A and B are shown apart, each in its own frame.
Chain A
Amino acid sequence: MVQRIVLVSLALAAAVGAPRAWAQQRQITGRVTNATSGEAVARANVSVQGTAISAVTSDQGEFSLAGPEGNARLLVRHIGFRRREIAVPSSQGRVEVTLEPDVFNLEAVVVTGLATGVERRNAGNAVATVSAAELGFVPTPSLEQQLQGKIAGADIQQNGGAPGGGLQVRLRGVTSINATAEPLYVVDGVIVSDVAIPSNQNAVTAAAGGSNPSLNQDAQVNRIADLNPSDFESIEILRGASAGAIYGQKASNGVVIIKTKRGQAGVSQVGFTQRFGFSEISNTVGSRVFRDTTDAFGAFAPVVPRDTATRRLIRGLCALPNGACPFFDLERELAGLRPLSFESGASVSGGTENTQYFASGTVKDDGGIIQNTGFKRQALRLNLDQRLGSRVRASLNTSYMHTLAQRGLSNNDNTGTSFYVVLSATPSFVNLGIQPGDTFARNPFVPSNPVQTAALMKNNEDVYRFIGGANLQWDAVQSAGHYLRFITLGGADYFNQDNALFFPPELQFEPNDGLPGTSLLTNSGSLNLNLNTSAVHTYTPSSNAFSATTSLGVQYGWRRLDISRITSRNLTAGQENVDAGTNIVIGPERRERIKDLGFFAQEEFLASDQRLLLTAGIRADQSSLNADPNKLHYFPKASASYRFLKPKSFVDELKIRGAYGESGNEPAYGQRFTSLRATSKVGGLPGTVAGDTTGAPDLGPEREREIEAGFDATLWSGRGNLEVTGYQKNVSDLLLPRQLAPVQGVNTLIANGGKLRTRGLEVTLGLIPVQQSDLSWIFRTTFSLNRSVITDLAGLPLFRAGGFGASLGQFRVEKGASATQIVGNDTLTAADVASTTYDYLGAADTTGTVVVRKIGDANPDFRMAFTNDFRWKHFDLHVLLDWQHGGSILNLTRLLYDFGQVTADYAVPLRDTVVVPTSDTTADTLRTVGQKRIYGFGKVAKNFVESATFLKLREVTLTYTLPPSAMTSFWRGARYVRLSASARNLFTIAPFTGLDPEVSNFGNQPIARNIDVTPFPPSRSFWFSIDLGL
């Protein structure tokens, strides 16, 4: 067995080796069992080292093989267990082999190229692997949620509480300012789309009509949410360019490589899962309690000029004895539902030596905490593997999904429509709930009732998606020392997304624009096609001194994205059809086609008794997104690792590794063109004029150069595992907009330039403090931190990278500053003026001068997560705690509540009142916390900056596995029966006064996350599950 560098696709199949002559002399039999549970391990691979003799264990764990004369060494392997080598003296005919569970995924094969992989113990990169066993403790709609807290260096945050996804995966900190922020997702070799298409709710909220024109305020879902996490066998994460260079121009945000489950030869296995659960709101912001009419008058009906109409209104609402005001918990009136959720899944897998299959189906229905919200998925998968003769193997993966996300109306708005925007201006003595006679209250303070909006509106995002791939492997040469395989993979990822939003004329806010009733229809189609062809050649000399693997390949990609929109207002008879409106706007339509071609070559050299691995490779990419579509951009990589065996008594193995690699981030579609605007007319005649932006003639990808180094240690006979990695990413050729001299005729040139640097540290530690047959405890922790700095802006002045302006706090890209710094208006104190720190202060700046300066940084100080898995007899307890320390978040929800004078703490008296002179003779007296914050508006943006520190109990699951004895009575023939109770986000401890410190009003962003503007409220979920295996 010399084939240490194994082909990824072969990882599950029996390894191939150079055949040697042997003599079949004796029979060796045995049984393979799980060292911790004592259960039989079926389908374990047992081979005799130095020969091609191998066998597979039966369902009872038994095996029998014809061994050679003399002493033999058996190697026993099974996915999910650590390998075991065992000596069988010539005198012995039967062996009992126990396998230890591979808790730390040490046996995994990690990718090194598009068609190659290497055993993790040799890998020159820190590649995070999450196995199926670590997924699915608590069901989630979206894959990313399953990864939260499980990978060091992955900052995974949910943009809002709306059901159905919308999460950002940020791997190793900031890698761009203006290009994409998404990692590349690859499912069974097929690059799949993770695009986030706004629903066009902006047509109602006019969120982009304010001081930030970004259209990404629609709480959009990035489309990886369509995938069914229960189909995944493993997830590998390439966090930076040193590992991701093989994906070239698309990989600078990292690569997430997903493998789905496959069948294995043997009797068919059937699994059923049935889950029931519910969700409930997990945090509220609260609202000010008004004591009585006097209190309310003070806020809403000033004495001068006397507002009698409002006073009359308040007297009517605060009609309790003595003018006391009632208190209605408006958040719970809106988001107090606890709907039933369920998930049903079935899978069947099995096959013969030549044909294996895996098929699954899932139906999921998550209720939302707000009326008319929720998430549904129906998914089907069929994976087939077929051997065609001894040298050719074909596989086919198909999956079909339908998801329906109903996401309510959240985030920023400028029209008083978004749920929490309305709550922020509605005092708690107004009851917005359903009134007698099933009517909805009219909100007298803002012409909008979110409870009514939720009950009558529709915001449906239907996605029909097909992902399929076919893979053909041909072992062209299999001779002594030489092994050559060709691999061809073709894949397609198609989805159609329909966003249908409907706001009937009955809504209180609908007549506000004079056009009652709004219906929005967005239809999007996306197709990604991939074609890869690779050749992998491995040479091993007869001395077995080394093995050298050469791979060459080509990858072609074709992407299409079409989005068309119809906005219809003033709906006749409240009809939803978009043609029922009198005011219909078609468009804007967006069309994209992208073609790219990549070539790669790689050499891997494994020597010194498989302890030294050297790898070097290069990828060359051309893409229609670059100014010169036929120019090749090169992305090299190299890595080295060396394993020390038993360097210390408590260290089983220590691997030192170092790697370097480069990868890119593509320009956006259309950036390279100077457009002509073709939509303008003069006197009704159409004409074309030059557009606003142009691309540099040499526009190309951003380039990330990453160097990483670290070590992996296996400790205490496999009871401990430590991985430490440090990295530095230098990103250059950033895609930056540059203002041209206006005489050029075009405002903005998109050009490559500028640099940023991100440094970080990642530590993963796994321990098995207790490991007994009926009691075990596995502890895992991850730690990561990173710091980014803008090192060069190519001569550009500092600029805003997100946010609403200096008075509200905004992200600012500035040479020498952290990439995620938040700046805002701030008022100089006497100490500031005296200090020499603020060298930017002008001579005229005195105490009280408002300046723009740094008021926070979105980047957390560090992140840690703790996973504990306890097993006692037949009970398993899994607990995952996720901790983010530090970082800032802009809480603009509280600002809106302050403006509405309904913040929970608005009326809390200040210990010392503040008197602010407004002229020589007049002064304002600030008496409450809220008044002081309002007074600081425009002067002290720090008022909106809060700590983003949190500790979340992400997952807790208690599982009871029926013992075999009980099982026979429960269901004869069942392989397993498990009952579990679980909860997700059971609690959050955070100093943040808003809803959730993870949110992002602008969705996924390279920099400008952490802006909270009236998001969808967060929820926790509880589940009860039955898993049954036959």
Chain B
Amino acid sequence: MRTKNLLAALVGLGLATGCKDLNVPNLNSPALDDLLTNPTRSKIATAATGLLIGTRAGIAAQNGYVSLLGIVGRESYNFDPADPRFVTEMMVGPLDGGSPAFGGNLWGLPYRNILNANVVLAATDRVPAVTNAEKEAVRGFAKTIEAFDLLKVIVTRDANGAAIDVGIDLTAPPAPIVTKAAVFARIVQLLDEAQTHLQAASATFPFPLPAGFAGFSTPGTFLQFNRALRARAAVYTDDFAGALTALGASFIDTTKSLNLGVYYDYSTVSGDETNALFDPNARAILAHPSFNADAQLQTSGQKDDRFLRKIDTLSAPKSAQGLTSDLQFVIYNAVDAPIPIIRNEELILLRAEANVGLNTAGSLAAAVTDLNTVRVKSGKLPVYAGAVTQAALLDELLYNKRYSLMFEGGHRWIDLRHYSRLNTLPQDPTSGGASKRFSKFPFPGFECDARSPAPAGCATETGF
């Protein structure tokens, strides 16, 4: 009997200890699950600011968004002596989905931030001590950033499509790949939902925004940024009337600085990112020689001021793999120089583009007005004197977008693809053969490995 009692006591002790919760949190960093299940006002705030860290990821890197789209759009070269693939793969091809550094990051990093945004949205639904109006502010912000990241995905994959129904369940099967049209529809949907949220939002965001959002750091003014992105998406999908509507609610203003807008921030603060496109000694990044040849002339005979302002000529040309250039970008003149996300100059050009697209006598005239604004203010060029036809104005528009938005995120490549003019890109002869024109990047290898059968976008991109 005594034995049994003692055994019972021992088992009791064991069970009592067993009930003790063994859970130990992650002591080395905050946990995503903790943000989801136990959100607080401050956690939401840092996670919301974090969306700007996430959306900036891989923009300024040597093998990032601006640099790689610059190469495929013949805006830039990269002569990095340590990696010949900037020429062999990015110019001659084929584009290979297997390498994260050459295009894979342009897919993976935006999706990382879409996860961040979805986590913020889910956590916001549960967070206490945040007013509904403040929650609406966070939602409007998060959905705008999510739409922006999705836009960055689809402009690199184009006809290959992309995944849109991604969630926060990391163990769910990967979301299916849908068409380009469906992706743009989701981008528009997100931006419009964000508009509704922002309109119902508090006067200020419950989190700080960095200097790049100066002037757009309240829900009311941030909505102008949202509409600017909406206008870009509309133009990309030939919804010209929608673009004009959106632009009307954006910060477009021909009387204000063309540089008014929203920027990616860089700084040398510990933990912050610096702008790797700042390359004062032209170690790797050079401007494409065609910028010199194609620049229009000012009345003084000087080249387009945008060329003079943004590009320096080196004392001696640099060469690699059969390519040569003596042009160096000076757009980003410091390690903490911001990179534009969208700015007034683009909005004016988008309005011109929409009006060219509408192709009515009135709209073409309006387009000429906007083009002249940019020509004069930005290029110090004389006013447009060419034919006022859709075809002629489109040529002029693309010239101005090329020089106004030079090396700011692949605008030339995206626009030429939009108007089926990629075949106008020069086929620079490299030591590995003539360079090719690519219309889209393939899906990264890991995306294809996870899907059976592999979607069409998994094939390497051979170009033409």
- Assuming the contacts A484-B6, A554-B14, A685-B210, asked whether A697 and B30 have C-beta atoms less than 8 A apart, the reply is no
- The answer, among A623, A682, A690, A739, for a CB contact under 8 Å with B119, is A690
Determine if A599 is an interface residue (Cβ-Cβ < 8 Å): yes
Contact B111 A744 (CB under 8 A): yes
- Assuming the contacts A535-B7, A681-B269, A744-B174, asked whether A629 and B447 have C-beta atoms less than 8 A apart, the reply is no
Contact A535 B6 (CB under 8 A): yes
Report the stretch among A653-661, A667-675, A701-709 that lies at the interface.
A667-675
Determine if A414 is an interface residue (Cβ-Cβ < 8 Å): no
Q: Shortest distance in angstroms between B321's beta carbon and chain A's nearest beta carbon?
A: 18
Q: Shortest distance in angstroms between B435's beta carbon and chain A's nearest beta carbon?
A: 24
Contact B28 A590 (CB under 8 A): yes
**What residues make up the interface of B, taking CB atoms closer than 8 Å to A?**
2-3, 6-7, 10-11, 13-14, 17-18, 20-24, 26-33, 35, 43, 46-54, 56-57, 104, 107-108, 111-116, 119, 162-163, 166, 170-172, 174-175, 208-212, 265-267, 269-273, 444, 446-447, 449-451
Contact B447 A742 (CB under 8 A): yes
- Assuming the contacts A686-B49, A747-B108, asked whether A681 and B271 have C-beta atoms less than 8 A apart, the reply is yes
- Inside 8 A of A749's CB, which chain B residues have their CB? 170-171
Contact A676 B30 (CB under 8 A): yes
- The answer, among B22, B30, B31, B174, for a CB contact under 8 Å with A624, is B22
- Inside 8 A of A687's CB, which chain B residues have their CB? 46-53
Closest 7 CB pairs between A and B? A745-B115, A683-B210, A687-B50, A683-B265, A687-B49, A742-B108, A741-B450
Determine if A592 is an interface residue (Cβ-Cβ < 8 Å): yes
Q: Shortest distance in angstroms between A525's beta carbon and chain B's nearest beta carbon?
A: 13
A741 to B97, CA, bound (A): 13
| Given pairs A552-B14, A739-B449, 7 additional interface contacts (CB within 8 A) | A629-B23, A673-B26, A678-B29, A684-B265, A690-B54, A691-B32, A743-B107
Contact A682 B265 (CB under 8 A): yes
- The answer, among B14, B31, B43, B447, for a CB contact under 8 Å with A741, is B447
- Assuming the contacts A688-B46, A690-B116, asked whether A742 and B104 have C-beta atoms less than 8 A apart, the reply is yes
- Which A residues, 862 to 879, have Cβ-Cβ distances below 8 Å to chain B? none
Closest A residue, CB atoms, query B264: A682
Q: Shortest distance in angstroms between B204's beta carbon and chain A's nearest beta carbon?
A: 15
- Inside 8 A of A552's CB, which chain B residues have their CB? 7, 10-11, 14
- The answer, among B104, B116, B273, for a CB contact under 8 Å with A745, is B116
Determine if A28 is an interface residue (Cβ-Cβ < 8 Å): no
Contact B166 A689 (CB under 8 A): no
Contact A670 B28 (CB under 8 A): yes
A675 to B27, CA, bound (A): 10
A590 to B23, CA, bound (A): 18
A496 to B14, CA, bound (A): 32
A629 to B33, CA, bound (A): 15
- Inside 8 A of A697's CB, which chain B residues have their CB? 171
Determine if A914 is an interface residue (Cβ-Cβ < 8 Å): no
Determine if A299 is an interface residue (Cβ-Cβ < 8 Å): no
Contact B26 A670 (CB under 8 A): yes
- Inside 8 A of B265's CB, which chain A residues have their CB? 682-684
Determine if A441 is an interface residue (Cβ-Cβ < 8 Å): no
Contact A592 B113 (CB under 8 A): no
Contact A677 B24 (CB under 8 A): no
Closest B residue, CB atoms, query A694: B170
Determine if A83 is an interface residue (Cβ-Cβ < 8 Å): no
- Inside 8 A of B166's CB, which chain A residues have their CB? 743-745
Contact A745 B49 (CB under 8 A): no
- The answer, among A535, A592, A673, A676, for a CB contact under 8 Å with B10, is A535
Determine if A566 is an interface residue (Cβ-Cβ < 8 Å): no
A688 to B267, CA, bound (A): 17
- Assuming the contacts A554-B17, A688-B35, asked whether A595 and B22 have C-beta atoms less than 8 A apart, the reply is yes
Q: Shortest distance in angstroms between A519's beta carbon and chain B's nearest beta carbon?
A: 20
- Inside 8 A of A482's CB, which chain B residues have their CB? 3
Closest A residue, CB atoms, query B444: A742
- Inside 8 A of B47's CB, which chain A residues have their CB? 676, 687-688
Number of residues on chain A facing chain B (CB within 8 A): 61
Contact B32 A677 (CB under 8 A): no
- Inside 8 A of A591's CB, which chain B residues have their CB? 27-28
Q: Shortest distance in angstroms between A751's beta carbon and chain B's nearest beta carbon?
A: 9
Chain A 570-603, CB-CB to B under 8 Å as 1, else 0, gives 0000000000000000000111111111010000
- The answer, among A675, A689, A747, for a CB contact under 8 Å with B116, is A689
Chain A 614-635, CB-CB to B under 8 Å as 1, else 0, gives 0000000011100001100000
- Inside 8 A of A137's CB, which chain B residues have their CB? none
Determine if A556 is an interface residue (Cβ-Cβ < 8 Å): yes
- The answer, among A476, A486, A630, for a CB contact under 8 Å with B22, is A630
A742 to B104, CA, bound (A): 9
- Inside 8 A of B446's CB, which chain A residues have their CB? 739-742, 747
- Which A residues, 192 to 233, have Cβ-Cβ distances below 8 Å to chain B? none
Determine if A746 is an interface residue (Cβ-Cβ < 8 Å): yes
Contact B22 A623 (CB under 8 A): yes
- Inside 8 A of A484's CB, which chain B residues have their CB? 3, 6
- Inside 8 A of A623's CB, which chain B residues have their CB? 22
Determine if A696 is an interface residue (Cβ-Cβ < 8 Å): yes
- Assuming the contacts A535-B10, A675-B30, asked whether A689 and B21 have C-beta atoms less than 8 A apart, the reply is no
- Inside 8 A of A477's CB, which chain B residues have their CB? 2-3
- Assuming the contacts A476-B6, A676-B35, A684-B272, asked whether A744 and B53 have C-beta atoms less than 8 A apart, the reply is no
Q: Shortest distance in angstroms between A845's beta carbon and chain B's nearest beta carbon?
A: 19
- Assuming the contacts A484-B3, A740-B450, asked whether A689 and B113 have C-beta atoms less than 8 A apart, the reply is yes
- Inside 8 A of A680's CB, which chain B residues have their CB? 50, 53, 271-273
A632 to B30, CA, bound (A): 26
A741 to B112, CA, bound (A): 11
Contact A629 B29 (CB under 8 A): no
Determine if A57 is an interface residue (Cβ-Cβ < 8 Å): no
Determine if A679 is an interface residue (Cβ-Cβ < 8 Å): yes
- The answer, among B52, B170, B444, B450, for a CB contact under 8 Å with A682, is B52
Determine if A537 is an interface residue (Cβ-Cβ < 8 Å): yes
A599 to B35, CA, bound (A): 33
Q: Shortest distance in angstroms between B100's beta carbon and chain A's nearest beta carbon?
A: 8
- Assuming the contacts A554-B14, A686-B46, A690-B119, asked whether A629 and B21 have C-beta atoms less than 8 A apart, the reply is yes
- Inside 8 A of A556's CB, which chain B residues have their CB? 17
Q: Shortest distance in angstroms between A626's beta carbon and chain B's nearest beta carbon?
A: 9
A62 to B337, CA, bound (A): 94
Q: Shortest distance in angstroms between A684's beta carbon and chain B's nearest beta carbon?
A: 5
Closest B residue, CB atoms, query A556: B17
A783 to B86, CA, bound (A): 56
A747 to B171, CA, bound (A): 12
- The answer, among A535, A592, A622, A676, for a CB contact under 8 Å with B32, is A676
> Mind listing 18 A-B residue pairs with CB under 8 Å?
A537-B3, A589-B28, A595-B24, A597-B20, A599-B14, A629-B23, A670-B28, A673-B32, A676-B32, A680-B53, A681-B269, A682-B56, A690-B116, A740-B174, A742-B112, A743-B175, A744-B111, A797-B449
Residue of A596, A599, A690 with most partner-chain B CB within 10 A:
A690
A677 to B20, CA, bound (A): 30
Q: Shortest distance in angstroms between B59's beta carbon and chain A's nearest beta carbon?
A: 11
- Inside 8 A of A747's CB, which chain B residues have their CB? 108, 446
Determine if A752 is an interface residue (Cβ-Cβ < 8 Å): no
Contact B33 A673 (CB under 8 A): yes
Q: Shortest distance in angstroms between A671's beta carbon and chain B's nearest beta carbon?
A: 10
- Assuming the contacts A596-B22, A739-B449, A741-B447, asked whether A675 and B50 have C-beta atoms less than 8 A apart, the reply is no
Closest B residue, CB atoms, query A688: B50
